[in-house]
A and B are shown apart, each in its own frame.
Chain A
Amino acid sequence: MPQSDPMTTTDSGPTAPVELAQEDRAESPGAGQRLRSASVVDFILLMGIAVALVAGTLAIQREFRRPPVWWESPDYLRLEAASRGMKRATFLSDGNSSEHNTRLHTTQYSIIPCVLRLTLEWSVIFARLDSGEFIVCDFARPAALDAAIEELKTWAAKEKRDVIAQRLSPHIALLKAGERP
């Protein structure tokens, strides 16, 4: 005797559910045809499981063969090394959300990736634009921005580069490091 389903008692449904065991169904009229169609469907599902296992194994292998993702590539690691003096500086803005469609494609893979990686490690945010400018921000604690700017200046002095620092807002500064002489 099937037991009543617990869920039916919490909300009154249109009618009581029927507990119909598979073997009960097999004994009803047309059971032979249904069983044949059932076995075809089960075979399809088993085939799908086997293929999915193969595809899944290959997909995981591919993940392992894939070279480091862009924000772990040597270029960005070099950038990270260059900003080593700013250990608390990351994040990046593409700088122009209104031109999202055109700029995003060109900047997404050249600028944001390095920042994304660094953002997650450090709390202050730093980015380098293609133009050579840096954007530094600390949204959570603006006071840290000053320290980040100072660190960038220290780095630039060590690298013998000129630095232009301009506060764009309480949270954001635009910096430019000149070319190496």
Chain B
Amino acid sequence: MAFLIGFLLLSLGGWLLAATTFAQPGALLGKTLRSSLAWAPGMTWGLLSVLYFLGLHGTGQAPGGIFVAGSFLLIAGLATLPRREFAPAELGPRPRSWALAARLLFFGVLGLGSIGFYLVVKRQSGGGFDAMAIWNYAARFLARAGLEYRDLIPELAAAHHMDYPLMLPASVAAFWDLIGRESYQAQHFIQWSFYLGLGLMSRELLRGFVSPLRADLAASFLFLVPSYLIWTTQQYADVALAYFLLAGVGGLSNRLSPEARTRPPLLLTGFMLAAAIWTKNEGLPLVVMMLALYLPIRWRSGSALQCARDGVRLCLGASPVLLALVVFKTNWAPPNDLVVGMEASASSYLKDLDRWLFVRDGFLNEWSPWESASFLAWGLAWPLTGLLFAIGLWSRRLRLKSHELFLALVSLGAVLGWFMVYVLTPNDQGWHIRTSLSRLLLQILPIIFLTAVILSAPALPGRPPVQIS
């Protein structure tokens, strides 16, 4: 029953996307389905959590399943109203044999990953420590205490990170409302959809820049990185955050490339970027960095008017999620303990060389293929991503187009940003690196991998590249 309702919700999200965005006249049926499937998890759980939370905040009690489902249907109905004619369904051209084999490989690894997911959650349905201490916990309180939860937050332990936003807890609570009971199946379904969504999204975005064969191979590789399966079942939020960040950065980079074969609308990109912040606090610095890089590059490669128009569209798309986020942060959440601690110690930590070296060693341990723990977590994802990055930069002689420059800077900024988090952390450095570095790297691996694959692809004809040296 839970899975049936889950599929129904996902289908609604996919339908909403197809009707408003992807099913245009002349669209290929396959492309429409592909795009809708890739973006559906983010739209479904992002929108559902916002509706649930704002409903709870506005009415003073947990909105029932009828309210959530009704709101969802209402929005979907309103969104489809202007489009009276759906696109005619057409069949796309037949792919070549190698491309067909790569496509089969991709969907095969999706199936394989789903089997692995089932085996792991069957053994440990509640997830790992953070899943229990933070996400499941917050979902229980939302579902049981409703608005009273807000008043209880100061009484709860710091280990529960009550300042973490509510995309996952509110989605789970809304799901429970709909199925009428608290069941781990809700968490499992949501996590599974983000896990598959990450693979579908990476394939979707890559197909905008590289050949379908390359996109299938690269997406298969990324999806098979063991950490994604393990952390999807153990920790919940990081894979969802990785999905939203990938969607956001992919949407922005496609906008910067005149040759890109896919162009997700900025409204949708804005929604995904805001949903990244609504998923986890780490989303905020990454999204701010992306926008700080995107807007000047857009200005430089286009015009100030285009840049301003993009900014408005992004804000419009982000607005429902940002509204929920602002309400949560100003009315519910305590201050972020990590940031509060950093403020007190930042200047002294910055001057401590040992802290820098310690963090460097932590990163190298994660990336090293010779460490058995690293190999089991990543396969060879980091060394091979680095190799692809090097091939790409070498083959382009450091002459990058706007979207490549944007992606490369975002990748570099993400790694440097996470490096600084561990230099400045007020927690014990060893403990902090041991317990979270792999998850933070997991959040940004899709972006870096996507960049490496795009850079290593044959250059498409188009505008003259930007010289960076």
Contact = CB atoms under 8 A, between A and B. Distances in A.
A50 B219 CA distance: 13
Contact of A139 (B21, B141, B159, B461): B141
B50 interface: no
B388 A11 contact: no
A14 B300 CA distance: 12
Contacts of B263: 5, 7-8, 11, 13, 17
A56 interface: yes
Contacts of B128: 69
A93 B1 CA distance: 35
B265 A41 contact: no
Contacts of B21: 6-7, 10
Interface in B187-245: 211-214, 217-218, 220-221, 224-226, 229-230
A147 B224 CA distance: 50
Contacts of A139: 141, 145, 148-149, 152, 155-156
B377 interface: yes
Binding site secondary structure of chain B: helix
A81 interface: no
Contacts of A116: 129, 132-133, 137
A92 B28 CA distance: 55
B380 A51 contact: yes
A51 B381 CA distance: 9
Contact of A52 (B28, B225, B395): B225
Contacts of B109: 49
B261 A19 contact: yes
Contacts of A19: 261
A48 B214 contact: no
Nearest to B334: A97
B302 interface: yes
Interface in A74-91: none
Contact of A41 (B23, B337, B456): B456
Interface of A is mostly: helix
B401 interface: no
B306 A3 contact: no
Nearest to A142: B148
B87 interface: yes
B123 interface: yes
A48 B384 contact: yes
B303 to A, nearest CB: 9
B27 A6 contact: yes
B123 A41 contact: no
Contacts of B296: none
B242 to A, nearest CB: 16
Nearest to B220: A49
Interface centre among B90, B155, B341, B387, by most chain A C-beta atoms within 10 angstroms, is: B155
A44 B384 contact: yes
A117 B26 contact: no
B210 to A, nearest CB: 9
Interface residues of B, number: 92
Interface in B1-58: 21-28, 31-32, 35
Interface in A108-128: 108, 112-113, 116-117, 119-120, 123
B24 A52 contact: no
B456 A11 contact: no
Interface stretch (A60-68, A156-164, A173-181): A60-68
A14 B22 CA distance: 19
B31, B152, B226, B265: residue with the most chain A Cβ atoms closer than 10 Å: B226
Contacts of B213: 22, 42
A5 B428 contact: no
B468 interface: no
A113 B378 CA distance: 28
Contacts of B313: 11
A105 B25 CA distance: 59
Contact of A37 (B23, B145, B395): B395
Contact of A97 (B23, B148, B158, B458): B158
Contact of A56 (B22, B87, B90, B224): B224
Nearest to B21: A10
Interface string B101-140: 0000100010000001001100110101100110011001
A55 B376 contact: yes
A51 to B, nearest CB: 5
A105 B428 contact: yes
A25 B387 CA distance: 24
Given A6-B22, A6-B26, A41-B457, A94 B120 contact: no
A169 B266 CA distance: 49
A100 B161 CA distance: 11
A113 B23 CA distance: 48
B426 interface: yes
Interface in A1-48: 3-11, 13-15, 17-20, 22, 25, 28, 34, 37-38, 40-42, 44-48
B342 interface: no
A100 B221 contact: no
Nearest to A71: B132
A144 B359 CA distance: 47
Given A18-B462, A55-B375, 7 more contacts: A5-B261, A38-B211, A38-B214, A45-B220, A60-B116, A116-B133, A139-B148
6 contacts: A11-B266, A13-B255, A44-B384, A52-B224, A52-B226, A62-B376
Q: Which 6 A-B pairs have the closest CB atoms?
A: A6-B27, A97-B158, A52-B379, A52-B224, A6-B24, A55-B379
